[in-house]
Structure 1
Amino acid sequence: MTAFQAWRVHEVADGQFEGRVDTQDTSDLPAGEVLIRVSHSSLNYKDALSASGSKAVTREYPHTPGIDAAGEVVESSSEAFPAGSTVIVTGYDLGMNTAGGFGEYIRVPSDWCIAMPSAWDARQSMIYGTAGLTAGLSVNKLLRMGLAPDQGPVAVTGATGAVGTIAVEILAGLGFDVVAISGKTDQADHLKSLGATDVVGRDRLEPGKKPLEKPAFAGALDTVGGEPLAELLKHIKPGGSVSCCGLVAGPKIPATVFPFILRGVNLLGVDSVEIPLSEKADVWSRLAGDWACPKTEASARDLGKSGLGDALGRFLKGDSVGSLVLDHSL
Structure 2
Amino acid sequence: MDSFKAIVVKENEDQVNYGVENVNLISLSTGEVLIKVEYSSINYKDMLAVQKNGGVIRNYPMIPGIDLSGTIVQSSDNRYTEGQKVVVTGFKMGMSHTGGFAEYARVPSNWIVPLPDNLTQKDAMVFGTAGFTAALSIMTLEKNGMDINNNPRILVTGSTGGVGSIALQILSKIGYKEISALVRKEHQEEVAKSLGATDVIFASELGEQKKPLDKQRYDFVLDTVGGEVASRLIPHIAYGGSMSMCGNAGGIKLTSTVLPFILRGINLLGIDSVNVPIHKRGYIWEKIANEWNISKTSLVNEITLNELPDIIEAVKNGQHLGRTIIKI
- Give the TM-score taking structure 2 as reference length: 0.96
**C-alpha distance in structure 2 between counterparts of 1:146 and 1:167, whole Å:** 17
**C-alpha distance in structure 1 between counterparts of 2:80 and 2:282, whole Å:** 15
**C-alpha distance in structure 2 between counterparts of 1:245 and 1:205, whole Å:** 20
String of CA shifts for 1:182-222, please: whole Å, max 9, x gaps: 11321212211221100111123333211111001110100
Query: 1:71 aligned to 2:70?
Result: yes
Helix, strand or coil: the match of 2:113? Answer: strand
Query: 1:322 aligned to 2:322?
Result: yes
**C-alpha distance in structure 2 between counterparts of 1:227 and 1:279, whole Å:** 32
Q: 1:39 offset after TM fit, Å?
A: 1.1
Asked if the contact 2:185–2:202 (Cα under 8 Å) also holds between the matched residues in 1, the reply is yes
String of CA shifts for 1:90-134, please: whole Å, max 9, x gaps: 000000111110011111100000000111121110000000000
String of CA shifts for 1:146-202, please: whole Å, max 9, x gaps: 112324310000101010001011111222210000113212122112211001111
Asked if the contact 1:6–1:64 (Cα under 8 Å) also holds between the matched residues in 2, the reply is yes
Asked if the contact 1:239–1:264 (Cα under 8 Å) also holds between the matched residues in 2, the reply is yes
What is residue 185 of structure 2 aligned with on the other side? 184
Ranges in structure 2 where 5+ consecutive residues have no aligned partner: none
Asked if the contact 1:8–1:62 (Cα under 8 Å) also holds between the matched residues in 2, the reply is yes
Helix, strand or coil: the match of 2:251? Answer: coil
What is residue 237 of structure 1 aligned with on the other side? 238
What is residue 279 of structure 1 aligned with on the other side? 280
What is residue 255 of structure 2 aligned with on the other side? 254
In structure 2, the CA distance between the partners of 1:263 and 1:295, relative to structure 1 (3 Å rule), is farther
What is residue 113 of structure 1 aligned with on the other side? 112
What is residue 137 of structure 1 aligned with on the other side? 136
Asked if the contact 1:207–1:228 (Cα under 8 Å) also holds between the matched residues in 2, the reply is no
**C-alpha distance in structure 2 between counterparts of 1:295 and 1:201, whole Å:** 28
List aligned pairs for 1:194-205, cutoff 5 A: 194-205=195-206
Q: Identity of paired residues, percent? A: 41
List aligned pairs for 1:44-59, cutoff 5 A: 44-54=43-53, 56-59=55-58
Asked if the contact 2:146–2:152 (Cα under 8 Å) also holds between the matched residues in 1, the reply is no
What residue identity is the alignment partner of 2:226? G
Q: 1:13 offset after TM fit, Å?
A: 4.3
Asked if the contact 2:126–2:295 (Cα under 8 Å) also holds between the matched residues in 1, the reply is no
**C-alpha distance in structure 2 between counterparts of 1:148 and 1:269, whole Å:** 19
**C-alpha distance in structure 1 between counterparts of 2:105 and 2:2, whole Å:** 12
- Quick check: 129-138 or 275-284, which moved more? 275-284
State the aligned residue count.
326
What residue identity is the alignment partner of 1:31? T
Helix, strand or coil: the match of 1:143? Answer: helix
- Give the TM-score taking structure 1 as reference length: 0.96
List aligned pairs for 1:1-330, cutoff 5 A: 1-14=1-14, 16-54=15-53, 56-149=55-148, 150-176=150-176, 177-294=178-295, 296-297=297-298, 299-328=299-328
**C-alpha distance in structure 2 between counterparts of 1:154 and 1:310, whole Å:** 33
* Structure 1 stretches of at least 4 aligned residues deviating more than 6 Å after TM superposition: none
Asked if the contact 2:159–2:183 (Cα under 8 Å) also holds between the matched residues in 1, the reply is yes
**C-alpha distance in structure 2 between counterparts of 1:279 and 1:203, whole Å:** 38
Ranges in structure 1 where 5+ consecutive residues have no aligned partner: none
What residue identity is the alignment partner of 1:86? K
**C-alpha distance in structure 1 between counterparts of 2:296 and 2:105, whole Å:** 30
Q: 1:55 offset after TM fit, Å?
A: 5.4
**C-alpha distance in structure 2 between counterparts of 1:12 and 1:205, whole Å:** 43
**C-alpha distance in structure 2 between counterparts of 1:100 and 1:294, whole Å:** 23
Asked if the contact 2:156–2:182 (Cα under 8 Å) also holds between the matched residues in 1, the reply is yes
What residue identity is the alignment partner of 2:309? G
Helix, strand or coil: the match of 1:234? Answer: helix
**C-alpha distance in structure 1 between counterparts of 2:74 and 2:207, whole Å:** 52
What residue identity is the alignment partner of 2:154? V
Q: 1:53 offset after TM fit, Å?
A: 2.9
Asked if the contact 1:225–1:251 (Cα under 8 Å) also holds between the matched residues in 2, the reply is yes
**C-alpha distance in structure 2 between counterparts of 1:54 and 1:113, whole Å:** 29
What residue identity is the alignment partner of 1:20? G
What residue identity is the alignment partner of 2:213? L
Helix, strand or coil: the match of 2:167? Answer: helix
**C-alpha distance in structure 1 between counterparts of 2:139 and 2:205, whole Å:** 26
Asked if the contact 1:76–1:82 (Cα under 8 Å) also holds between the matched residues in 2, the reply is yes
What residue identity is the alignment partner of 1:54? N
